[in-house]
Amino acid sequence: LEHGGTALFPTALCAMQSKLSQLDPQGMANTLWAVAKLHTACPSPEPTTQLAVRNFLTALCGVLKGQNGGALRRFKPQDLATTAWALVSVGYPDRELMLLLVEQAQTKLHEFKPQEIARMSWAVSAAGLR
């Protein structure tokens, strides 16, 4: 995650944070998935990386919770499941957002594939929602 002595990941997250409003649902879910994968690959990041991740997640959650979760209505089942999984995987299971994700998942449950149901179920359980 370092290149030429500068931390690439925090810089990339900062740049991505400024473009959140331009991302479609799949782009948001994929970006969050990438953050979660990097987090699991490097569970003890540098403080600057931790701060960048926290700031990015706070901004992304704000976008997703805006208008009472209005952005989530455009999410496909895969996007909902990936977002829920990623939030829990990075240790940022924002309860309000998780409840909004569950609410949207319930309206689209008939569209979920088995893997998406499993991923969403794991995230809900791991987040302590019942």
pLDDT tens per residue, range 46-57: 788 888 888 999
The whole-number pLDDT of residue 101 equals 95
Residue identified by tokens 């969050």 is 32
The whole-number pLDDT of residue 3 equals 47
Question: Tell me, what DSSP letter sits at residue 70?
Answer: G
The whole-number pLDDT of residue 4 equals 46
The whole-number pLDDT of residue 43 equals 66
The whole-number pLDDT of residue 121 equals 96
Count Cβ atoms below 10 Å from residue 113 Cβ, excluding itself: 11
The whole-number pLDDT of residue 116 equals 97
Helical H segments across 18-113, by residue range:
25-41, 47-69, 77-89, 95-107
Contact at 8 Å (CB) between 1 and 42?
yes
**Taking the model in full, what pTM does it have?**
0.86
The whole-number pLDDT of residue 84 equals 96
The whole-number pLDDT of residue 45 equals 74
Low-confidence residues of the chain, pLDDT below 50? 1-6
Question: Tell me, what DSSP letter sits at residue 3?
Answer: E
List Cβ neighbours of 7 (8 Å cut-off, separation of 6 or more).
Answer: 1, 46, 48, 49
Q: How far apart are CA 17 and CA 31, in angstroms?
A: 10
The whole-number pLDDT of residue 71 equals 87
Question: Tell me, what DSSP letter sits at residue 2?
Answer: E
